[in-house]
């Protein structure tokens, strides 16, 4: 390892900031996925179960629609002008507030139609702040570490989704034990959402221990920040944005067609109890952590483009696993856990390159805006997939769930394969920019 490749305590803090901020950022998003059947019953009561579930997923989608708005505001006004650290701090403050409100909402039985309206409003606010956090969390680690470590750092950033799911699943398991049966409909889901107060720990960590990004600070000191990162993104870098967005949409679709729908699939098709779903998702979350981290590291050796191509091929190859999973019942719990783990591990493998790829696609002056807006717009589009799948199942019947998932994975795999082939490899772009700045070329 070259001397310049050595990680210092400062690098470790940046890496932890990326990992922890995004982990707890996503906790609240995943909480609603784990308690979807209960939110559906309490806020969107319907005689057709999958219509209620579709409405709940649509509520989940509303937060995604606000994420690009938050990304643009925080990226343009805070991250690229005032620093990555402030974007993380301000975003997490907003998330703590919305998490508290969500756990205190009245249900349909109490306030009628105002219940779904209130939860939608809270989710909109939550989405705004989630988008804001990414303007800092998704850049401060990948742009700040030595080139040798950029791949796995981006991978571990993506794997924060697995860590968030692990924490949310463990908390879901605990709440299922503490509030069995009908008591979960009274208090269990509320306690689940109050777990969103965990970001307070990250807030303290970021406030007192993490320094500002060196890459951003050097750009600021050299007068390389610009007045309107948004205008630059949509003019000079619009082609870069377009290609990056297609790739991000593909990996977002992949993510929500697997991890996003697992809790509902395990409940409706496999017949698992709340506790069994919690255990299954805890183990699956480990796969979500290992896969992207490993994929990110491999991308440092073979390039981001080839890693994404390999990941797309793997997705197509594992699609039949959903058909097998659909044939299992709670009596085959060990097999259910194993298959869910394998799908989680392999489906996220290729996506480990995405966060690093986006950081390398944009220069420091617009990186906060570019990365956050591309990421959140892509995941807003991908986040619609659970709602669409639920509406399809409400029309053709829940028994078709495994087949629908099989075909969906094949289609997304093909989309990812094509978009990966047409994109450019970005590996080394940040290093080239740093070297150019040091030589006074820009």
**What value does the mean pLDDT of the chain take?**
89
Angle between helices 238-258 and 385-396 (to 10 degrees): 50
- pLDDT single digits (tens) 383-392: 888 878 888 9
Per-residue pLDDT band for 435 (boundaries 50, 70, 90) equals: confident
What pLDDT shows up at residue 395?
87
Per-residue pLDDT band for 23 (boundaries 50, 70, 90) equals: confident
pLDDT for 34 beyond 70: yes
Per-residue pLDDT band for 125 (boundaries 50, 70, 90) equals: very high
What pLDDT shows up at residue 46?
82
What pLDDT shows up at residue 440?
61
pLDDT for 397 beyond 90: no
Domain spanning 10-421+430-438: which superfamily? Answer: MFS general substrate transporter like domains (1.20.1250.20)
* The model's pTM: 0.87
pLDDT for 76 beyond 60: yes
pLDDT for 265 beyond 60: yes
Give the Cα separation of 188 and 182 in Å (integer).
9
Per-residue pLDDT band for 437 (boundaries 50, 70, 90) equals: low
- pLDDT single digits (tens) 85-103: 999 989 988 888 888 888 8
What pLDDT shows up at residue 302?
96
- Average confidence (pLDDT) over 77-88: 92
What pLDDT shows up at residue 2?
59
Per-residue pLDDT band for 6 (boundaries 50, 70, 90) equals: confident
What pLDDT shows up at residue 4?
67
pLDDT for 254 beyond 60: yes
pLDDT for 3 beyond 60: no
- Average confidence (pLDDT) over 317-322: 96
Lowest-pLDDT range of 30-44, 274-288, 360-374? 30-44
What pLDDT shows up at residue 118?
94
pLDDT for 361 beyond 90: yes
The distance between the two most distant Cα atoms of the chain, rounded to a whole number of Å, is: 68
pLDDT for 441 beyond 60: no
- Average confidence (pLDDT) over 383-407: 88
- Average confidence (pLDDT) over 348-364: 94
Per-residue pLDDT band for 204 (boundaries 50, 70, 90) equals: confident
- Average confidence (pLDDT) over 247-265: 88
Three-state SS annotation for the chain = CCHHHCCCHHHHHHHHHHHHHHHHHHHHHHHHHHCHHHHHHHHCCCCCHHHHHHHHHHHHHHHHHHHHHHHHHHHHHHHHHHCHHHHHHHHHHHHHHHHHHHHCCCCHHHHCCHHHHHHHHHHHHHHHHHHHHHHHHHHHCCCCCCHHHHHHHHHHHHCHHHHHHHHHHHHHHHHHHHCCCCHHHHHHHHHHHHHHHCHHHHHHHHHHCCCCCHHHHHHHHCCCCCCCHHHHHCCCCHHHHHHHHHHHHHHHHHHHHHCCCHHHHHHHCCCCCHHHHHHHHHHHHHHHHHHHHHHHHHHHHHCHHHHHHHHHHHHHHHCCHHHHHHCCCHHHHHHHHHHHHHHHHHHCCHHHHHHHHHHHHCCHHHHHHHHHHHHHHHHHHHCCHHHHHHHHHHHHCHHHHHHHHHHHHHHHHHHHHHHHHHCCCCCCHHHHHHHHHHCCCC
pLDDT for 24 beyond 90: no
What pLDDT shows up at residue 266?
92
Distances 178 to 71, 88, 101, 405 between C-alpha atoms, Å: 37, 33, 22, 33
What pLDDT shows up at residue 202?
74
Whether the Cβ atoms of residue 245 and residue 410 lie closer than 8 Å to each other:
no
Lowest-pLDDT range of 131-135, 153-157, 277-281, 320-324? 277-281
């Amino acid at each position: 390892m070259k001397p310049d490749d050595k990680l210092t305590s400062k690098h470790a803090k940046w890496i932890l900031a990326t990992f922890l901020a995004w982990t707890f950022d996503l906790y609240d998003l995943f909480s609603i996925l784990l308690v979807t059947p209960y939110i559906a019953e309490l806020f969107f009561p319907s005689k057709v179960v999958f219509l209620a579930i579709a409405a709940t997923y649509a509520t989940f989608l509303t937060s995604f629609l606000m994420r690009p708005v938050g990304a643009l505001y925080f990226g343009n006004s805070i991250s690229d002008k005032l620093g990555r650290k402030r974007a993380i701090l301000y975003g997490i403050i907003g998330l703590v507030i919305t998490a508290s409100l969500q756990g205190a909402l009245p249900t349909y039985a109490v306030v009628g139609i105002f219940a779904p309206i209130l939860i939608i409003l809270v989710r909109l606010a939550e989405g705004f702040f989630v988008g804001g956090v990414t303007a800092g969390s998704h850049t401060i680690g990948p742009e700040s570490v030595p080139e040798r470590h950029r791949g796995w750092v981006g991978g571990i950033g993506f794997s924060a989704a697995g860590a968030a799911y692990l924490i949310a699943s463990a908390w879901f398991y605990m709440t299922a034990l503490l509030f069995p049966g009908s008591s979960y409909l009274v208090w269990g889901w509320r306690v689940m959402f109050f777990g969103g107060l965990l970001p307070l720990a990250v807030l303290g960590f970021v406030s007192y221990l993490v320094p500002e990004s060196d890459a951003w600070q050097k750009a600021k000191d050299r007068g390389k920040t610009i007045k309107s990162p948004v205008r630059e993104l949509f003019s000079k870098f619009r082609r870069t944005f377009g290609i990056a967005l297609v790739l991000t949409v593909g990996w977002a679709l992949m993510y929500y067609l697997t991890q996003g729908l697992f809790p509902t699939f395990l409940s409706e098709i496999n017949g698992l109890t709340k506790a069994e779903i919690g255990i299954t998702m805890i183990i699956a979350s480990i796969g979500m952590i290992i896969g992207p981290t490993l994929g990110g590291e491999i991308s440092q050796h073979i390039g981001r483009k080839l890693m994404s191509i390999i990941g797309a091929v793997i997705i197509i190859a594992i699609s039949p696993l959903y058909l097998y999973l659909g044939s299992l019942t709670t009596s085959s719990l060990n097999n259910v856990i194993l298959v869910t783990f394998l799908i989680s591990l392999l489906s996220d493998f290729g996506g480990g390159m995405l966060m690093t790829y986006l950081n390398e696609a944009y220069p420091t002056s617009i990186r906060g805006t570019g990365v956050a807006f591309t990421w959140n717009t892509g995941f807003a589009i991908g986040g619609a997939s659970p709602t669409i799948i639920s509406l399809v199942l409400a029309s053709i019947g829940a028994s078709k769930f495994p087949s629908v998932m099989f075909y969906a994975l094949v289609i997304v795999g093909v989309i990812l394969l094509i978009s990966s082939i047409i994109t450019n490899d970005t590996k080394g772009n940040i290093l080239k920019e740093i070297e150019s700045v040091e030589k006074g070329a820009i």
